[in-house]
Amino acid sequence: MRSIEEWRQAPRAERLARLALTGDELARAIAGQDASRLARRPDPVNWASVEVLCHLRDTEESFLHRFRLILIMDEPRFPTTNPNRWAMERQYLRNDSAQALEAFVRRRAETLAFLRELSDEQWARAGVQMDSRGRRTLDDFLAVMAWHDPNHVDQLSRALEGRV
């Protein structure tokens, strides 16, 4: 899989196209799977497939919220998120996989519509993540998302197979 830096070097259109694939990839991966298999963790630490879907759904909402703030504020600061905490507090294992996927697909469509309307000047606007990641432009965030998606699609597939 490509690194974030490799995705950063890819043309913006290619990164946007990568994001457009994820919903279908996830749908194919979970097609025909029963709820118990989707909620089965490969080990006590790693996420089950439903948890991966919920993570993608919630991260998508977070990304779009941050993107909107970046356009209306000068370099807004974002707190560090804790995905494992979200998984526990939001009870990802109790979520319905199909509903999580549906919400992700809907949110991703909103994100893509938002991103496709940005001007070159807007792509250069940035926010600051209050962790080691620091300042990121909207273009940088697009590279992160293009890297993030295939990693989690792979994680979901491994979880279905019972692998870490």
Alpha carbons 44 and 85: distance in angstroms, whole number: 15
Q: Which helix (H) or strand (E) holds 129?
A: strand 126-129
Q: What is the CATH number of the domain that holds 70?
A: 1.20.120.450
| β-pair partners for 128 | 77, 135
Residue 153's SS3 state is helix
Q: What was the pLDDT predicted at 68?
A: 98
Give me the number of domains the chain comprises: 1
Phi, psi of 131 (to 5 degrees): -140, -160
**What is the residue-wise DSSP string for 37-90?**
HHT--SSSSSPPHHHHHHHHHHHHHHHHHHHHHHHHSSS-EEPPP-HHHHHHHT
- Nearest to residue 65, comparing CAs of 114, 12, 30? 114
Q: What was the pLDDT predicted at 93?
A: 97
Q: Which domain, by its residues, includes 35?
A: 4-161
List the chain pLDDT tens, one digit each, 164 residues. 999 999 999 999 999 999 999 999 999 999 999 999 999 999 999 999 999 999 999 999 999 999 999 999 999 999 988 999 999 999 999 999 999 999 999 999 999 999 999 999 999 999 998 877 789 999 999 999 999 999 999 999 999 999 99
